[in-house]
Amino acid sequence: MSGEAGALAGPDGGLRCPWGLSTEDYIAYHDEEWGRPVHGDDALYERLCLEAFQSGLSWITILRRRDGFRAAFADFRIATVAGFTDEDRARLLADPGIIRNRAKIDATLANARVLADWPEGELDSLIWSFAPDPASRQVPKALSDVPAITDESTALSKALKKRGLRFIGPTTAYALMQACGLVNDHLADCVAREAAGS
């Protein structure tokens, strides 16, 4: 997200972050999901995976295939994906309903195997331990005020990699933090900012 744009009026006249206005899919995602707190190991694993698949692509590409991803990866249940076989991998590499990127698919499977050995709730606790104090953050007024990485996202990326997870650099980690409500990067005048909290 870059540029000087502040919140812009949507179809209903409400002001929103400009990136959330380009399609109906984006408006719904922006208004109802992005920036809202996400908890639970499976739910956070899904977001980790989708943010990794998004790397190098537009988020709308992932958003429009999310149902396909959920079907292909057993609703991102860590225990189930950890048991995927070579036949499952071959199925995923041939599945037109997802992004058929070998490195990203392999990372998704490998990460599930790592996470399956963690105690329940540990992924949730680890990720949320990197949420900054909301009082320490400036409320963004324009897209140019929103960073691509932060000290916290860099530290989160390092912590996840140290524990054996793959395909989670600082930029992907920050996108995860934004999407899952660890930070509230809705612009100051955005109608969704208050609902997202902090």
Cα(76)–Cα(69) distance, rounded to whole angstroms? 8
Cα(3)–Cα(127) distance, rounded to whole angstroms? 29
Name the token pair of 170: 């600082």
List Cβ neighbours of 158 (8 Å cut-off, separation of 6 or more). none
C-alpha of 25 from chain center: 16
Active-site residue among 29, 33, 118, 128? Answer: 29
Does 186 carry a binding-site annotation?
Answer: yes
Give the residue ranges of DSSP H helices in 73-150. 78-82, 86-93, 102-115, 122-128
3-class DSSP assignment, residue 2: coil
C-alpha of 109 from chain center: 17
59 given a catalytic annotation: yes
Active-site residue among 33, 59, 118, 128? Answer: 59
Active-site residue among 34, 45, 51, 174? Answer: 51
51 given a catalytic annotation: yes
Does 30 carry a binding-site annotation?
Answer: yes
Name the token pair of 174: 């920050």
Does 17 carry a binding-site annotation?
Answer: yes
Please choose, from the candidates 65, 49, 78, the residue with its C-alpha nearest in 3D space to the C-alpha of residue 180. Answer: 49
Catalytic residue positions? 29, 51, 59
Binding-site members for Zn(2+) are 17, 30, 186, 190
Q: Which residues are annotated as a binding site?
A: 17, 30, 186, 190
